[in-house]
Structure 1
Amino acid sequence: MDPEVSDPADLLAFDTLLSAEELALRDEVRRFVRAEIKPNIARWYEDARLPLEIVPELGRRGLLGMHLTGHGCAGRSAVEYGLAAAELEAGDSGLRTFVSVQGSLAMTAIAKHGSDEQRDEWLPRLAAGQAIGCFALTERSAGSDPSSMKTFARRDGAGPNAGWVLSGTKRWIGLASVADVAVVWAQTDDGVRGFLVPTLTKGFTAMAIEPKLSMRASIQCDVVLDEVRLPADAVLPGAQGLRGAFSCLNEARYGITWGAMGAARDAFEDALAYSKERLQFDRPLAGYQLTQQKLVDMALEINKGFLLALHLGRLKDAGKLEPHQISAGKLNNCREAIEICREARTILGGNGITLDYSPLRHANNLESVRTYEGTDEVHTLILGQRLTGVAAFR
């Protein structure tokens, strides 16, 4: 195998399950991450900086809204999107999160629920990385239960051409302070609706949440909507109720199933390489039974996690993927990935707390990934309802 794209964690000949096109896409993204992201990510993480200069390159490579078709989007399969997500998160969760917020959330909302005019206006620019989008759903007291959101949009005038006035606050909104357009979800007299809000609109303010111990090479914000006035056609016509928002969240959750395993694999690779070079008692760490047990346990979970992700991707491409199956992937792979990264850090010893190595950075990031797009508890209850037929959310 080409050492530039080799995968030392692969125990099951995973690549034999992929098509030539899927392998080519995966290897292209892997080379990009190893050449452009990994040499710089420690500095970006230390400086708490999202490298916006790479956004046009992500667009040029067709990685923004890559699962969508038309309007400049790449029209890739679900499996190809997943493979790309894994490689990006092997670089850093913050970078995969950028692609997810832009593509799986903001662009998917516009593609699935927007008007033809809204798609024409925004999707080509977002796909090319010439504009940035964000997705404003969560509020300070409305995270796992978005139905309790307080942000409200009222009609501004009467008749079919009446505009809207949005007021409220949102929290943990990725990319909001650098976005050109926000997909904002708000209560109305007719239930929850989605709105396209250009971020230069008077009354829209986004402030980065700082300091953070996780997702440092990323941006999450508090957003204030102070009597934001919008035209009648700002509403997403195809989104009625929270189902529209959840359809976008499921796209993002699916990508996380792959992405978390990318982070785990990268942490494993650092630990494996270190164990072969680091001498203790005149022999490499890799030559000790306890170290080999750690490496084997990590590799087994990585292999299982990628097989789970691939199965979900094949179901998705066949139009058969169900929401509870996405919950199974997100819950399992995030939970296992964090444990893998923590275990990898133990092999590195004290050196593992430095940014010279990736495991602890990945573990810190995955604490956020594990929380957003549904906590462990929420996905557990989704699966519990599937198994028992009883909803236990309240």
Structure 2
Amino acid sequence: MLSFYFALAAIAMVLVMTYHSLSLGITAACLGLAFLLGGALDVAGWLQAMLLAAAAITGLLSIQSLRQRFISAPLFKWFKGVLPELSETEQEAIDAGTVWWDGELFSGQPDWNKLLANPLPTLSAEEQAFLDGPVNELCRMADRWNINHNWKVIPEEVTDFIHDNGFLGMIIPKAYGGLELSAVAQTEVITRIAQAGQCIGNYIAVPNSLGPGELLIKYGTDEQRDYYLPRLAKGQELPCFALTGPHAGSDATSLPDVGVVCKGKYNGKELLGIKLNFDKRYITLAPVATLIGLAFRLEDPDHLIGDKDDHGITCALLPRDTKGVEIGRRHMPVGEAFLNGPIVGKDVFIPLDNIIGGVENAGKGWRMLVNCLSVGRCVTLPAVSNAMGQNMTMGTTAYASLRKQFGVAIKEFEGVQKPLARICGYSYIINAARLHTAQSLGFGEKPSVPSAILKYHCTEMSRQIAIDAMDIHGGKAVMLGERNYVADGYTSVPIAITVEGANIMTRNFMIFGQGATRSHPYVLREMELCAEEVNDSTVGKFDDVFFGHVGFAITNFSRSLLLGLSGARFANAPVNTPVAHYFRQLDRLSSAFALVADTTMLSLQSKLKFKEMLSARLGDLLSSLYLGSMVLKHYDNRGCPAEELPLVTWAMDHLLHEYQVAMLEVLQNYPNRALAAVLKRVVFPLGARFEAPSDDNVQQIVKLMTADSLTRQELTSGVFDEPSDLNPLGQVNAVFLESLAVNKLYRKLGSAIKEGRIEKLSGQALIEAGKAADVLSETEYRQLVDFDAKLMNIINVDDFDPSDIIRVPIEDSNPPLRDAS
């Protein structure tokens, strides 16, 4: 029995030493002491032998010269043969951006103080004035219904206002006439103007994201910047960027569009340039753009600008009126009538100087694009998703409080409460993630992996928000008209899902596929070393990296097991607040993720690239950790308000449960079943214990968010809520706030019904009965009459004369069929 307890103690000692990442020398010494103690206690011989062997092996491994000669050098040669080679395209994608909080999560031991050190993002006085002034005024002008359903274009008065107030130059430096807003301010502006509709929203967002403006700022020549940036900032030039086409969508690297270096005539002069042939589709602002940014593959068969036949993807500028460019036709995107269309070029000749950055940037287009995307995906689409969340939080909490069924507000039905709480919870997650990730851009980060996480998860959450809002509003949201503030956003959701890397591709390839290499503390360095020649220097470097990686994996094994057994009680929590236990769980699960990710990469090696479902689930693990971190940071930065805790609890319980589901699915479908069984015992030694948000939590959120609480005000602070006929969302919110004051009068009428003083009626009839029975004073009567009229304006839906709907002449009741041939 003594040997059994001694063995347990030895195992515990090893786990504790590896948990704390003690050096090989100290570990060997401790194992040696355990061997001597075992001998003194006369424990079983096999146990003493194991301790002696472990001490000897660890001691030998601590001698670096022996380790390099007999282990690292052979392993280095083997690694060079088995590690997958990165294509030039993959290498450029991995090199794009920087490693930020994703690197901490991959480490298995995130430094929470590093995350919490930055304060809550705020706007400068100038940025706030722009939001309160021109942005709000634009929202007042926007007639979303007519733009989407009648005009299909933005009125000139609105576009002039946009140009005159610098909306198209939010990213352009002030030196060139732009506004030079911070990334956080850009997300606030895009969140608010999204309420004006995607036609106006995209008219502003696209020039301020990947396109000529951003590419010129980062890569343009001085001459290009000096000429184009002031014109772009003031709307004298309207840009678009032509990347995708019929044969190159998400696989944008397979561009069939070609430019050939040759001599030709341009503006009457013969010079060296590029003859282009291209066919582009899905290009936002193409129908009205005056300046086209074009991505194409540059070929130089006569070696006029260098030794290469194929320089690769290149970006250039084309004025709209360039000979051979066909532009102006429109696609009809689902949902809203934003400006999108094709661009075709046949034998288009442009000077070499039209390459962005000049001829020196020939073939550098893909690197330029992925660098810009690593930033842009943090801003525009998360902000659009944030708009969906905030708008539907405001509208749905208000409507669910106003709309009654069976004499009860629908917010009281549990079937409504669950999706209503989900809308609010997802909105909280999106807002936290977009705000703090955008803030990182101001610190010089270019978080490529977090930007992919936000692109996928924010747009997917906004899709669910739209579905839930539609379900709760029912017929109110189904019937189109000026009073409908749900349908246009609902039908437009697929656009955000598809653009800037379709979500299926983003989840299956990018989040973990890029993160496993880019964010891992050792893998990229190992791959880079394996691309070098074998010599004493590279073997020494490989030895440091490889054994650092081994120690990293062993530490994560011990941390995962011990923290799992203890319920993460000893994990790191940087705060002493009601959410400290969530920090501890994320700390524990970061180690578990790092362990499973490492084991998967080692066991599958190059095959992992083709295990898309497995890669997607590993990406889900990283995403849950990242989004949870942003939620906790947001709550901490806001001073941990007690009122907000139900939302934070919902968000964290949801994300931890999603992590658990993804991890179980990873292990359930793991190719190596024996390894999966071991990992499951290590990661969940006490079983899968994370539960989805409770019903009590759901009801707490509904109660909180259907009152005029500070939390509701904060979570809808990005909404333009000024009520008007052009802003039905503002109207429903105003009526909701008014209802909080008049509900006491309806309770008064309810008491009169119970007492038998008036009959059980509803609406205007109930108010009249209350007045007749002197239940209501004259002032109370007029207050309720006025409120009921406003309420019915909210409850009612639009109807139309048939002549406003039917597109064929009204007298022609039998429109002709088209010939299908």
TM-score normalised to structure 2 length: 0.44
Asked if 1:31 corresponds to 2:122, the answer is no
Letter of the aligned partner of 2:342 in structure 1? D
Counterpart among 249, 252, 257 of residue 376 in structure 2: 252
Residue 121 of structure 2 contacts residue 184 of structure 2 at CA under 8 Å; is this kept in 1?
no
Q: Which residue of structure 1 aligns with residue 159 of structure 2?
A: 55
Q: Which residue of structure 2 aligns with residue 188 of structure 1?
A: 298
Task: Report SS of the residue matched to 2:253.
Answer: helix
Q: CA deviation at 1:121?
A: 2.0
Residues 19 and 131 of structure 1: is their aligned pair in 2 closer, same or farther, counting only changes over 3 Å?
A: closer
Q: Which residue of structure 1 aligns with residue 318 of structure 2?
A: 197
Q: Which residue of structure 2 aligns with residue 318 of structure 1?
A: 443
- Alpha-carbon RMSD: 2.4
Counterpart among 30, 38, 45 of residue 148 in structure 2: 45
Mean alpha-carbon deviation: is it higher for 180-189 or for 374-383? 374-383
Asked if 1:132 corresponds to 2:238, the answer is yes
Letter of the aligned partner of 2:253 in structure 1? S
Q: Distance in 1 between matches of 2:448 and 2:121?
A: 24
Q: Which residue of structure 1 aligns with residue 485 of structure 2?
A: 358
For residues 114-148 of structure 1, give each alpha carbon's deviation from its aligned partner in whole angstroms, at most 9, with x where no partner exists.
Answer: 22222222221221122211100111110111111
Q: Which residue of structure 2 aligns with residue 87 of structure 1?
A: 192
Q: Which residue of structure 2 aligns with residue 369 of structure 1?
A: 496
Residues 204 and 393 of structure 1: is their aligned pair in 2 closer, same or farther, counting only changes over 3 Å?
A: farther
Mean alpha-carbon deviation: is it higher for 221-230 or for 41-50? 41-50
Q: Which residue of structure 2 aligns with residue 230 of structure 1?
A: 350
Letter of the aligned partner of 2:177 in structure 1? G
Q: Distance in 2 between matches of 1:323 and 1:174?
A: 23
Q: CA deviation at 1:350?
A: 1.4
Q: Which residue of structure 2 aligns with residue 167 of structure 1?
A: 277
Counterpart among 205, 208, 211 of residue 103 in structure 1: 208
Structure 2 counterparts to residues 300-319 of structure 1, below 5 A: 300-319=425-444
Q: Which residue of structure 1 aligns with residue 224 of structure 2?
A: 118
Task: Report SS of the residue matched to 2:169.
Answer: coil
Q: CA deviation at 1:388?
A: 3.7
Q: Which runs of 5+ in 1 are unaligned?
A: 1-14
Q: Which residue of structure 2 aligns with residue 7 of structure 1?
A: none
Residue 183 of structure 2 contacts residue 438 of structure 2 at CA under 8 Å; is this kept in 1?
yes
Residue 71 of structure 1 contacts residue 123 of structure 1 at CA under 8 Å; is this kept in 2?
yes
Q: CA deviation at 1:365?
A: 1.4
Residue 267 of structure 1 contacts residue 362 of structure 1 at CA under 8 Å; is this kept in 2?
no
Counterpart among 331, 340, 351 of residue 220 in structure 1: 340
Q: Which has the higher strand share?
A: 1
Task: Report SS of the residue matched to 2:289.
Answer: coil
Q: Which residue of structure 2 aligns with residue 153 of structure 1?
A: 259
Residues 137 and 363 of structure 1: is their aligned pair in 2 closer, same or farther, counting only changes over 3 Å?
A: same
Q: CA deviation at 1:251?
A: 4.1
Which structure would you say has the larger Rg?
2
Q: Distance in 1 between matches of 2:260 and 2:171?
A: 34
Q: Distance in 2 between matches of 1:72 and 1:173?
A: 26
Mean alpha-carbon deviation: is it higher for 143-152 or for 289-298? 289-298
Letter of the aligned partner of 2:220 in structure 1? G
Q: Distance in 2 between matches of 1:236 and 1:52?
A: 32
Q: Distance in 1 between matches of 2:448 and 2:217?
A: 20
Task: Report SS of the residue matched to 1:361.
Answer: helix
For residues 223-260 of structure 1, give each alpha carbon's deviation from its aligned partner in whole angstroms, at most 9, with x where no partner exists.
Answer: 11011111231111264131112233344322211121
Q: CA deviation at 1:48?
A: 6.0
Counterpart among 281, 288, 292 of residue 413 in structure 2: 288
Q: Distance in 1 between matches of 2:120 and 2:222?
A: 40
Q: Distance in 2 between matches of 1:16 and 1:148?
A: 42
Q: Distance in 1 between matches of 2:298 and 2:178?
A: 32
Residue 287 of structure 2 contacts residue 330 of structure 2 at CA under 8 Å; is this kept in 1?
no
Q: Which runs of 5+ in 2 are unaligned?
A: 1-118, 265-269, 300-310, 518-607, 613-821
Q: Which residue of structure 2 aligns with residue 11 of structure 1?
A: none
Residue 208 of structure 1 contacts residue 221 of structure 1 at CA under 8 Å; is this kept in 2?
yes
Residue 107 of structure 1 contacts residue 123 of structure 1 at CA under 8 Å; is this kept in 2?
yes
Q: Distance in 2 between matches of 1:287 and 1:16?
A: 35
For residues 77-99 of structure 1, give each alpha carbon's deviation from its aligned partner in whole angstroms, at most 9, with x where no partner exists.
Answer: 11111111111223323322222
Q: CA deviation at 1:267?
A: 2.7
Q: Distance in 1 between matches of 2:278 and 2:154?
A: 30
Mean alpha-carbon deviation: is it higher for 55-64 or for 168-177? 55-64
Q: CA deviation at 1:293?
A: 2.9
Residues 167 and 181 of structure 1: is their aligned pair in 2 closer, same or farther, counting only changes over 3 Å?
A: same
Residue 89 of structure 1 contacts residue 260 of structure 1 at CA under 8 Å; is this kept in 2?
no
Q: Distance in 1 between matches of 2:436 and 2:332?
A: 38
Q: Which residue of structure 2 aligns with residue 4 of structure 1?
A: none
Letter of the aligned partner of 1:228 in structure 2? V
Residue 261 of structure 2 contacts residue 274 of structure 2 at CA under 8 Å; is this kept in 1?
yes
Q: Distance in 1 between matches of 2:150 and 2:350?
A: 36
Task: Report SS of the residue matched to 1:305.
Answer: helix
Q: Distance in 1 between matches of 2:356 and 2:611?
A: 29
Q: CA deviation at 1:297?
A: 1.5
Q: Which residue of structure 2 aligns with residue 8 of structure 1?
A: none
Letter of the aligned partner of 1:363 in structure 2? Y
Q: Distance in 2 between matches of 1:279 and 1:261?
A: 28
Q: Which has the higher helix share?
A: 2
Residue 56 of structure 1 contacts residue 128 of structure 1 at CA under 8 Å; is this kept in 2?
no
Q: CA deviation at 1:68?
A: 2.6
Task: Report SS of the residue matched to 1:146.
Answer: coil
Letter of the aligned partner of 1:128 in structure 2? K
Task: Report SS of the residue matched to 2:384.
Answer: helix
For residues 133-178 of structure 1, give each alpha carbon's deviation from its aligned partner in whole angstroms, at most 9, with x where no partner exists.
Answer: 11001111101111111111112229x9501111110010111121
Letter of the aligned partner of 1:76 in structure 2? L
TM-score normalised to structure 1 length: 0.88
Q: Distance in 1 between matches of 2:611 and 2:165?
A: 41
Give the number of aligned pairs: 376
Task: Report SS of the residue matched to 1:223.
Answer: strand
Q: Distance in 2 between matches of 1:67 and 1:235?
A: 21
Residue 268 of structure 1 contacts residue 341 of structure 1 at CA under 8 Å; is this kept in 2?
no
Mean alpha-carbon deviation: is it higher for 106-115 or for 307-316? 106-115
Mean alpha-carbon deviation: is it higher for 70-79 or for 233-242? 233-242
Residue 169 of structure 1 contacts residue 225 of structure 1 at CA under 8 Å; is this kept in 2?
yes
Residues 154 and 97 of structure 1: is their aligned pair in 2 closer, same or farther, counting only changes over 3 Å?
A: same
Q: Which residue of structure 1 aligns with residue 387 of structure 2?
A: 262
Residue 286 of structure 2 contacts residue 341 of structure 2 at CA under 8 Å; is this kept in 1?
yes
Q: CA deviation at 1:347?
A: 1.5
